[in-house]
Amino acid sequence: MASIMIKKAGEGLVSQAHRNADVGPTSGSSVVYEVQNVPGGVAVDDVIAAFKTYKPVDKVYEIDWAELSK
């Protein structure tokens, strides 16, 4: 199982964040999320696609893959 860092920009763009990024709001308008427990066979693009349809809970920046893959 892996963790993948995802960054959602203020204008809605979702991309992979640097693995050492701190979760939470950045100094700009972006927010960094950590998607935890991602199975080994799941590509980063699949995580990003799943995240785009997910509505994160306010002030929760660590998300389990099971929540995204519903």
What's the pLDDT score for residue 11?
86
Residue-wise pLDDT for 9-59, tens only, equals 988 899 999 999 999 999 888 999 999 999 999 999 999 999 999 988 889
Report d(CA 13, CA 9) in Å as an integer: 5
- Enter the pTM of the model: 0.92
User: Which has the closest alpha carbon to 5: 19, 54, 60, 26?
Assistant: 19
What's the pLDDT score for residue 23?
96
Report d(CA 62, CA 47) in Å as an integer: 13
pLDDT interval class at 69 (50, 70, 90): confident
Residue 70 in this model has a pLDDT that exceeds 90: no
The answer to whether 40 and 56 have CB atoms below 8 angstroms apart is no
